[in-house]
Copies of this chain bind each other. A is one copy, B any other.
Amino acid sequence: MRMNKHVFLLFVLALWSAAASHAQQNVSFREGNVVSPQVNEDHSVTFRLRAPKAGSVWVWGDWEADRGLGQMRRGADSVWTYTTPALPSEMYTYRFVVDGVAGLDPSNPFTRRDVGNVFSIFFVSGGCADYYQVRRVPHGTVSARWYPSEQLGLTRRLSVYTPPCYESNPDKRYPVLYLLHGSGGDENAWVELGNVARIMDNLIAEGKAEPMIVVMPNGNSSKEAAPGETSENLAYKPSMTNLIPGSYKNGRYEMAFPEIVAFIDNHYRTIPDKAHRALAGLSMGGFHTLYISVNHPDSFDYVGLFSAGLDMSSVDMSQPAYHDLDGKLQALQAAGYKLFWIAIGNEDFLYQANRDFCRRLDGLKFGYEYHESTRGHLWSNWRQYLLLFASRLFK
C-alpha cells in the first residue's frame, strides 16, 4: 500500500496545488518508484506496472520469445509483473494493455514513435544491441535540414549524419549512403528506430565501416517532412501510407531522387561519383531503392534491398518509373555495380515476393547477393541488415 499511496498522494497534491494557487508550474517529477523494465543478468526482462483497479494487464512487445505477449500477474502493492524468457541482444519496443487500453510503461521515460504509435523501449546488451547504444567513441553529427524539390514542388526535410572526422578534416571528402524508410515512416525513422548515428559511430570506431555521410530523406513524395514537422502541423497524422492509394508507388519520388543527390553533393564534402554512393531502403524504401537504382543506373555502385516491398500487384507498371523493369535491370547490369544486396526474413510477409524477385534476377543473369535472416518484417532485422550492409561499402 505504501507505494500506491505515494502515487495517489502525488495526484492529490497536484489537484490541491492547482486548486489552491491556480498556478500551474512545469515541474515534472516521475511518479512512484516502480522499476520497469528491468533487464536481468540472464537477459530475461521483468516488467512492472502499478494498476490497483485493473482487471487484466498484458505486456505486448516485438520480441520472439513468448510471442511478444505476457499476461501480467497482480502482486503485492497492486504491482503487476511479468518476466520474459531470455531475449537475444536487440532493441525492443513494447506497450502495456490495461483492460484493453494500450499505453506506455509509465516507469520508462524512453520512447520511440513507430508510424502512428508511441512505444516504450529497452535494450538487451551483449550482442548487436551494443552497436545501437552510445559508447565513448567519437560521435558524428545528426542534422535536420531542408532541401528545395523543384520536381515535387516542396521544400522538404531530410536527416543527415556526418561522421566524427568530418569537421576535423575540412579538406577530406566522403562517400554517401542514402538510406530510405518504409511505408508510414519518415526522415526520422532510421535515426530514431534505426539508431543510425550510434551504429555508424560504433562501426567506424571499430574500423568495420568506412567514414561516410548517411542521408535519410522523406519518401512520402506529397509531404514536406515527418508528421508534426510540416506546415500541416498536427493535422497530418502518421499512418501506414499504403492505406492511401496513390500517395506512394506513383514514381514521383524515384524520378525526383537526383535532386536529393545534387543537393547533398552541393552542400557536403562528398565524393560525387557512382563508386562513392550507396542506396538502401527497408520495405517501401526497398521498393524505392530498386526503382531509383534502375532508373539512374550511373548513380550507385552499392544497392541494398532490406525486406523490400517487391509485391508489384498494386503498382501501375505503365508509369515511366516502373515500366520495362527487365530492360532497366539489364541497363544497370551493363552500367555495372559492385554490390546488389537483397535481405529478407524467413517469416516476413514479403518473403515470397523477394524470393520471386530473386528468380526474376536469376532469369536475367543479374548478379546479386542474397541474405536470409530469421523472423519477420521487423526493425531488429533492418538494424542488423544495416550492420552487415554498411560494413561492405566503399572498400
Interface residues of A (CB under 8 A from B): 7-8, 11, 14-15, 18-19, 21-31, 49-55, 60, 62-64, 67-69, 93, 97-104, 106, 109-111, 113-118, 121-123, 133-136, 138-139, 141-146, 155, 157, 167, 184, 197, 224-225, 227-231, 233-234, 237-240, 267, 345, 347-349, 375-379
Contacts and interface: CB of A to CB of B under 8 A. Distances in A.
16 contacts: A7-B100, A23-B345, A23-B375, A24-B68, A25-B349, A26-B93, A26-B378, A28-B117, A51-B100, A98-B101, A109-B238, A110-B228, A111-B118, A121-B234, A123-B234, A136-B155
Interface of A is mostly: loop
A209 to B, nearest CB: 18
Given A23-B347, A141-B145, A233-B123, A111 B111 contact: yes
Contacts of A28: 114-117, 184, 240
**8 smallest beta-carbon distances between A and B, as pairs:** A30-B116, A23-B347, A53-B99, A103-B103, A23-B376, A25-B377, A28-B115, A143-B143
Contact of A109 (B26, B118, B122): B118
A263 to B, nearest CB: 10
A54 B99 contact: yes
B134 A14 contact: no
A391 to B, nearest CB: 22
A22 B122 CA distance: 21
Number of copies: 2
Contacts of A240: 27-29
A27 B134 CA distance: 27
Contact of A133 (B111, B184, B233): B233
A22 B238 contact: no
Given A99-B51, A167-B267, A231-B136, A348 B25 contact: yes
B109 A377 contact: no
Nearest to A184: B28
A139 B117 contact: no
Nearest to A349: B25
B378 A60 contact: no
A22 B117 contact: no
Nearest to A23: B347
Contacts of A239: 29-30
A111 B113 contact: yes
Given A141-B145, A143-B144, 9 more contacts: A22-B67, A23-B347, A24-B62, A27-B377, A53-B99, A109-B113, A118-B118, A133-B233, A139-B157
Contacts of A110: 227-228, 234
A21 B344 CA distance: 16
A228 B134 CA distance: 8
B8 A100 contact: yes
Contacts of A121: 234
Contacts of A106: 101-103
